[in-house]
Structure 1
Amino acid sequence: MYRQRLGKILYMAAAAVSFQAAAASDVIRIGELNSYKTQPAFLEPYKKGMDLAVEQINAAGGVNGKKLELIVRDDNSNPGDAVRTAEELITRDRVDVLTGTFLSHIGLAVSDFAKQRKRFFLASEPLTDKMVWEQGNRYTYRLRNSTYMQVSMLIPAAVQMNRKRWAIVYPNYEYGQSAVATFKRLLKEAQPDVEFVVEQATPLGRIDAGNVVQALADAKPDAMFNVLFATDLAKFVRAANQRRFLKDLPVVSMLTGEPEYLDPLGRETPVGWVVTGYPWYAIDTPEHNRFLKAYQDRFNDYPRLGTLIGYNAILSLAAGIEKAGSTDTEALIAAFKDLTLDTPVGPITYRGLDHQSTMGAHVGTLAIENGKGVMTDVRYVDGATVQPDDELVRKLRPADAQ
């Protein structure tokens, strides 16, 4: 009797495992890791953007006849934790592909992990140039435009300001350091007589805004490049407005036009700054209007830049997997090479040369309307137009990264 019961139990267990394996074969598991706890302003809308894309794709029949399943984990904004989380997604959660990361140093850590484990990784958000150049590898592609691309979008405005004495303020980690190095080099090439009279490198999320503003003001600059974002940006602008430091000071600024960071400024929005951002309210194209309506219908809210990045990341993975015909790593690497797909902001291509997408960004000037910060004089800059020449990219990228 015991043996019969044991045999029945083992049979049922084997059947359950077999059923689970069969069920698993009917889904494509996307493992996503990100800094949800520390960067909620960007990543909560980002998660909703991913969810919307997954729902739409699955409602249309999935990818290659399989439904998408999103498995999300927090990386605690720590490179070591991020690598451990990526390993758990692969070994415990059995994901087919990896995507995500927000902070640049976290993205670089996961990219190196993907290289070591020989697994495909789509970096959705980290901006550092090293992701696709100096530390690029054949297993990693990147969706969002890089620091080089965004700085290049702002250089024409900086040159037009025709100011000589520049101040710089930035968060002191990979993203900020990369942006500043590129800005100084490109502005110097365009305007050789410029001087960088003061720099303030602040700890991420822990800016001493009053002292930073005072140090910048003491140098008496006649223009400024800002790379701060999130709560650091809000604290800095508030302190600068209190000290009237920003009065009549021309500024070019990365990311400030993104709703995640612009909305909290409200009436304190620094009017006249030239910024990169996402003016969802000013984009009138059929593709974006469909995306906007779908998002508003689903979440009763307006999208942020994070929403667009999350949405496009899932669209990219779906297009790449469909082209590859599977989630095999080598097939995905080949499929993403020069992959082109349509997005709410127009078509983008993943360059085979350096695995960077050509997704662009909007550039405009800050103003206040009805007590809220907005971007005006908006133009979209195609990412393909703000890349360095191919010869330089080949020099920067490791020879074994193709």
Structure 2
Amino acid sequence: MKARQARWAALLAAATLVLSACGTSDDGGATEANEPFVIMMSAGADAGPVTDQLLTALVSAKAGVATVNAAGGVNGRQVQLLESPDNANPTKALSALRAQIAKKKPDAYIVGAGSNVSAAVAPILNQNKILFMNAANIPATADPKQHPLAFNLAASPQVVVDGYLPEFEAKGYKKIGILHGNSAYAKTFGELSETTFKKAGYDVVAVEYDSAALDMTAQISTLRDAAPDVVVFNAYGAPAGYVLKGITKLGWDVPLLGDTSVSSTPLITQEPPVGLLGSPDLKNLTLEVTKSTVYDPAAEATNKAVKAMTSIGKINGSMNNCLSYDAILLIAAAAKSAGSTDPAAMAKALEDSKVTEGAGTAIYATYPYSADSHEPKLPIDTHSFAAPGPIVNGQLGSPGN
């Protein structure tokens, strides 16, 4: 009997040692002490017009991982970035995500570019209770009733549109022209612009163009005939160039205000032969940009992020493309505040403005989420206006550090 008791005691002690080695996770379940915090990300290097955006999003995410891991990781767990080579193709992204979940569910997921990818993966992420940080904003992922674990990162279209109002007042514009594409975001931008500007007392005329077209002169002619004082336009990639060349072709001398999509387009901030910088097509153009896109030697968090990113790879376009860096820092701050890597606890923490204000983010100083909205309610002065210039390391006026 004593021998049997001794064997049971030995087995119990061994079991205790195994559990101790595995550790008890902050989520209430057993996990290995060195188990990484896995973040899956839509990635690739051949995504057509959003290739530059996708590559920069990946560089910024890697820099965020390095920054967080150097500070101890996510509640002591080192972050592992898992790339989905889907090239912003929603079908491929969904297939890769399902395959990964079948093997082992990631702790979080990031979309750095491609709203169609966001729409495809959002339901499966919600179903599997995976934290979702979405730089390619869609309305569904801003609604915590639909997607309680999803958070949009970019400024909402409303914040972007509201940013024009002080500029209109300062320049004395009375009649506003709006030129926008027919993508989901571009349509939203156009509708919001028209409603917001009219509500503010401006005379407004809006024209939509086909984003797949190679010539927009017919639509531009229609807008010119309405004789607006200024034209606000939305475009990303090649369409931005077609719009600008169309205006030049028609000889229309009108002030142009490009939205954040235009300012994120490398074509606008690179010199010929690859870009339009310095050409007559840009002579009347002013860009709406995030404050982080304009170099400021006193902006410590932004400059730290730029240094981290450029040590890894190239920043194509502006800092608008680097929201994945902030996503990683927000995840770490949420886990620290919650004392847990449970996704629901982290989501709750992100709804606290003190958590996002203290995360050390670089693109926006804070991400004001709430229990009612997972879209950052950024202040109107988040954006400013600047003349086109060479964007080096994601910034206008960069010293090239």
TM score, norm. by length of structure 1: 0.75
* Corresponding residue of 1:48: 59
* Corresponding residue of 1:187: 197
SS at match of 1:91: helix
Once the two structures are TM-superposed, the CA of residue 54 in structure 1 deviates from its matched residue by: 1.0
Residue 273 of structure 1 pairs with residue 283 of structure 2:
no
Segment of structure 1 superposing worse, 82-91 or 232-241: 82-91
Q: For the residues of structure 2 that align with 1:121 and 1:301, how far apart are their CA atoms? A: 23
Equivalenced residue count is 351
* Corresponding residue of 1:200: 208
Residue 365 of structure 1 pairs with residue 386 of structure 2:
yes
- Aligned partner letter, 1:271: N
* Corresponding residue of 2:369: 350
Once the two structures are TM-superposed, the CA of residue 281 in structure 1 deviates from its matched residue by: 4.9
Residue 90 of structure 1 pairs with residue 104 of structure 2:
no
Once the two structures are TM-superposed, the CA of residue 67 in structure 1 deviates from its matched residue by: 0.9
Q: For the residues of structure 2 that align with 1:62 and 1:330, how far apart are their CA atoms? A: 19
Q: For the residues of structure 1 that align with 2:162 and 2:389, how far apart are their CA atoms? A: 26
Once the two structures are TM-superposed, the CA of residue 189 in structure 1 deviates from its matched residue by: 0.9
- Equivalence map 1:39-118=2 (5 Å): 39-118=50-129
Once the two structures are TM-superposed, the CA of residue 237 in structure 1 deviates from its matched residue by: 1.2
For residues 178 and 85 of structure 1, do their structure 2 counterparts lie closer, same or farther at Cα, with a shift above 3 Å needed? farther
* Corresponding residue of 2:19: none
Q: For the residues of structure 1 that align with 2:194 and 2:310, how far apart are their CA atoms? A: 40
For residues 171 and 259 of structure 1, do their structure 2 counterparts lie closer, same or farther at Cα, with a shift above 3 Å needed? closer
SS at match of 2:163: helix
- Equivalence map 1:384-399=2 (5 Å): none
- Aligned partner letter, 1:190: A
* Corresponding residue of 1:120: 131
For residues 180 and 259 of structure 1, do their structure 2 counterparts lie closer, same or farther at Cα, with a shift above 3 Å needed? closer
- Aligned partner letter, 1:195: V
* Corresponding residue of 1:392: none
Segment of structure 1 superposing worse, 258-267 or 47-56: 258-267
Q: For the residues of structure 2 that align with 1:235 and 1:40, how far apart are their CA atoms? A: 19
RMSD of equivalent CA atoms: 3.4
Matched-pair contact (CA < 8 Å) for 1:165–1:194:
yes
Q: 5+ residue gaps in structure 2?
A: 1-21, 23-29, 270-274
- Equivalence map 1:2-401=2 (5 Å): 26-34=35-43, 37-38=47-48, 39-123=50-134, 125-133=135-143, 136-191=146-201, 194-196=203-205, 198-203=206-211, 205-245=212-252, 247-251=253-257, 253-258=259-264, 260=266, 262-263=268-269, 264-268=275-279, 269-277=282-290, 280-284=293-297, 285-299=299-313, 304-306=318-320, 308-338=322-352, 339-340=355-356, 341-344=359-362, 345-358=364-377, 361-367=382-388
Q: For the residues of structure 2 that align with 1:24 and 1:234, how far apart are their CA atoms? A: 52
SS at match of 1:265: coil
- Aligned partner letter, 2:331: L
Once the two structures are TM-superposed, the CA of residue 266 in structure 1 deviates from its matched residue by: 0.9
Once the two structures are TM-superposed, the CA of residue 182 in structure 1 deviates from its matched residue by: 1.2
SS at match of 2:73: coil
- Give the % identical residues: 19
Q: 5+ residue gaps in structure 1?
A: 1-18, 377-402
Matched-pair contact (CA < 8 Å) for 2:65–2:79:
yes
For residues 33 and 293 of structure 1, do their structure 2 counterparts lie closer, same or farther at Cα, with a shift above 3 Å needed? closer
Matched-pair contact (CA < 8 Å) for 1:154–1:252:
no
Matched-pair contact (CA < 8 Å) for 1:169–1:227:
yes
Once the two structures are TM-superposed, the CA of residue 320 in structure 1 deviates from its matched residue by: 1.9
Q: For the residues of structure 2 that align with 1:127 and 1:99, how far apart are their CA atoms? A: 11
For residues 307 and 132 of structure 1, do their structure 2 counterparts lie closer, same or farther at Cα, with a shift above 3 Å needed? closer
SS at match of 2:261: strand
Q: For the residues of structure 1 that align with 2:250 and 2:395, how far apart are their CA atoms? A: 23
SS at match of 1:29: strand
Once the two structures are TM-superposed, the CA of residue 253 in structure 1 deviates from its matched residue by: 2.9
Q: For the residues of structure 2 that align with 1:128 and 1:162, how far apart are their CA atoms? A: 33
- Aligned partner letter, 1:289: N
